[in-house]
Amino acid sequence: MKIPVPDEILPADRLGHVHLVGIGGAGLSGIARLMHQSGVAVSGSDANDSAVVQALRAEGITVHVGHDAAHLDGVDTVIATTAAREDNPEIVAAQARGLRLWPRSAGLQSVLLGRRVVAIAGTHGKTTTTAMTTVALQEAGLDPTFAIGAEVGSLGTNARVGTGPVAVVEADESDGAFLVYTPELAVITNVDPDHLDHWGTEEAYAAAFAEFAERAGTTLAEDAGLADVTVAFADGATIRGTDLVIEGGRTRFRVEARGTDLGEVELAVPGRHYAQDALLALAVGLELGAEPAALVRGLARHQGAKRRMEPLGEAGGVRVYDSYAHHPSEIRGDLEAARSLVTGEQRLIVAFQPHLVSRTRIFGTAMGHELGAADEVLLLDVYVAREDPDPAVTGALVADAVPLPAGRVRFVPERADVVPALVEVARPGDLVLTLGAGDVTALAPQLLAALADGGRG
């Protein structure tokens, strides 16, 4: 559901009791935490119980499972996820009672007012870049407020109010939310057509990023056409990465800033795309005046964000990783990183769940092409999320485009069949990567249990 941004966004401390519809999601859970920590009365609801819901309750926030108009008793402001339907009883009640009804972008902006905002956007890599930036700035003593679109192990959460004046936030473009913020520093990781269900055309999508850059005091980006400060592994960049090496599950590179060698950065995560994310994070710290050596130490401390090439365990000699990649470019980056973790006769096995009917319709063939970098591929059916299913758009569309020999690509439409199929194909030494933005992540623990049980789980 599209909820208009109000003409005036009040500070969070003037919103009264705030209720968040869809509080278990990555975006709204972060807003709830920031408001609660700022002394705002907060409650929320979500369709399902989850670890996030339980964590929010443990932090003192009232969270209801299921949606009911009665949850709005005593509420002044309702902030809703874009995934909420128009007939959601809490949305209907908020409108009937004349309550303040805001989208998540307005809710986050209300918390950011009065802070020096670093807003990190981009088609890919914004979660990791936001996490890396936050950890680096913490190490440099800035203690920023932050809101990130995933739980981050080294931070222990996805959002927290810091003691410093800086706020680092992930700025999502999927529904235009990032055009609500007015950052001092804007970071654009990359621009690669996506979310065309909202934007309509590739040109409109690109224009939105240009508008986002114009809203900022200074923009840092790899693309010189968008950047005041270019940050790239390329000659002529203002802040330049060189000597990139990816091996043994780690990444290292050197940094030169405005002609000065700042030394070597080492990351505990593998991948060229993570090196670019780290370079951007370092650039933010430099623009804020942080000490370079402290930023480098912080980046070394970053252990990855949840669902970003996350190692979940090993059983039966098989390593299991999980990642959020759902766009062809993201699939390419994660498979390249995963390839650095297998050697010799070890194989890379991917279980991929396409996300959204519209995205699969547009990019399904390209998704399949990128999955050809694996040794074995299992395709789940499409995770429809906020859209209605289309019988003509299924995981088979992606499977048919994977350039691997027959027998090494399987479309497994029944969810109950996926783990047994993975157990059947995996052997000691292999790496299994569950991939996608939907609920495919839930399969990884089941797979580990089955492997530990000799395939009987």
The verdict on whether 306 is a catalytic residue reads: no
Tokens, residue 390? 């289309």
Catalytic residue among 127, 134, 189, 360: 127
Catalytic residue among 139, 170, 173, 222: 170
- Measure the CA–CA gap between 299 and 265, rounded to whole angstroms: 7
At 317 the three-state DSSP class reads coil
The verdict on whether 139 is a catalytic residue reads: no
On whether the CB atoms of residues 31 and 104 are closer than 8 A, the answer is yes
* DSSP state letter for 438: S
Q: Bridge-partner residues for 241, per DSSP? A: 255
Per-residue burial over 66-93, b if 16 or more Cβ lie within 10 Å, else e, is ebeeebbeebebbbbbbebeeebbbbeb
Tokens, residue 448? 């580990």
Beta strand 42-46 with 18-21: parallel, antiparallel or unpaired? Answer: parallel
- Measure the CA–CA gap between 82 and 357, rounded to whole angstroms: 16
Q: Name, in order, each residue with C-beta under 8 angstroms of 352's C-beta and a sequence gap of 6 or more.
A: 331, 367, 371, 377, 378, 379, 380, 395, 398, 435, 436, 440
Angle between helices 26-37 and 104-112 (to 10 degrees): 30
Tokens, residue 367? 């998704």
Residue 193: Cβ-neighbour burial (10 angstroms; 0-12, 13-18, 19+): middle
One-letter identity of residue 354:
P
On whether the CB atoms of residues 212 and 121 are closer than 8 A, the answer is yes
One-letter identity of residue 226:
L
The verdict on whether 222 is a catalytic residue reads: no
- Measure the CA–CA gap between 70 and 74, rounded to whole angstroms: 9
Task: Kindly calculate the radius of gyration of the chain based on its CA atoms and give it in whole angstroms.
Answer: 22
Going through 164-205 in order, the beta strands assigned E by DSSP cover 166-170, 185-188
Catalytic residue among 77, 126, 251, 330: 126
* DSSP state letter for 296: H
Q: List residues with catalytic annotation.
A: 126-127, 170
